[in-house]
Amino acid sequence: MRRIVVNSLQRIGFTDIVEAGDGKEALEKYDATIRFVITDWNMPNMTGTELAKALRDRGEQVPILMVTARSVREDIIEAMEAGVNNYIVKPFTPQILKEKIDALMSVAAG
C-alpha cells in the first residue's frame, strides 16, 4: 500500500517524499520540514491513530491524512479524535488523494 501511495503522490506532482515502514519510524523521521503526513491505520509497532496522537501530544500541528480500509463511522471518529484531519477509504484514485491533500493544505494555510 505504501508503494501505491508513493506512486500516486509522484503522479500528482510530489517529489520530496519521506517514507517510513511503520508509525514508530515515521515519528522518528518527522521534522518541521514535512508539510503533511499520510498514514495507514494498520501498521506494525505503532498504528496510524497512535502516530497521530503522538504527533499531537508533541504539539505538532502538521495535517494528517489517514488512508485505510476501515470505513465504519466509529473508526473515523476514533481517527479524528486521535488528531487525523482527513480520511480516505481504500481503494482510492490519485485524483481523490490529490483532492484530500489540497483540502488539507488549504485548511492548514488558514
Would you kindly state where each structural domain of the chain is located, as residue ranges? Answer: 2-102
Q: How far apart are the first and last CA of the chain?
A: 31
The share of the chain scoring above pLDDT 90, in percent, equals: 88
d(CA 69, CA 73): 12
Q: Does the pTM of the predicted model rise above 0.75?
A: yes
pLDDT at residue 110 is higher than 90 = no
In the CATH hierarchy, which fold is given to the domain comprising 2-102?
Rossmann fold (3.40.50)
| pLDDT (0 to 100) of residue 81 | 97
State mean pLDDT over 35-64. Answer: 96
d(CA 52, CA 64): 7
3: DSSP letter: H
Provide DSSP, 51-107: HHHHHHHTT----EEEEES--SHHHHHHHHHHT--EEEESS--HHHHHHHHHHHHHH
